[in-house]
Amino acid sequence: MKKFGILPVLAIAVAVLVAGCGKSEEFKKLESTLYASVASLHDEGMAMMNKGADLSAQLDRAIAMYDSLAAKYPKQFEGQSSDDLKAAKEKLANATTSMKDWMAGMKPYDPSMDHTEVMAQLTKEKDSITKVKTDFQDAITSATAALEKHKAFAEDMTAKLAMGMKKGMKK
């Protein structure tokens, strides 16, 4: 048998000691901070998902009202459509699906994992939930704009129809 040199044996001993001691406080803090960021983004995403559900219900009511009025007054609604309301509803549904998919695929934080693996996993989770949150913000903005546009159109149409009825009564 060959004799091992003292330097390789010492290096192995130091590596075993360092590995046995666990992660440094700095690594633990980095992981904890990144995990807290992911958790915070998740909470924001959940709040957006709840707001999205409320907006989706408002969109359903607006679509029903639009369709009802368009059926009653086809001439006045000529050239108009509820496509933007339907598109906004679809965006909200897609964002909700993305959030649910992200939650289903999220791997829980495991402090015993290797630091490099933990940081890679948490960074990937943060990037994914950030995209979901951006999608929700876009969907909420679209839904809000469509609802405001149709509300203004409905108010204008109601005023015009009321004026028309008054003129018809005077004759």
| pLDDT value, residue 8 | 45
Specify the pLDDT at position 56. 96
CB count within 10 Å of CB 96 equals 19
The pLDDT of residue 170 is: 54
Take residue 127 and report the two structure tokens written for it. Answer: 């990037």
Residue 163's pLDDT is what? 76
Helix (H) or strand (E) holding 137: helix 115-170
Q: For the chain, which residues score pLDDT lower than 70?
A: 1-21, 165-171
- The distance in angstroms from the start CA to the end CA of the chain is 119
Q: For residue range 70-90, list pLDDT tens digits in order.
A: 898 888 888 888 999 999 999
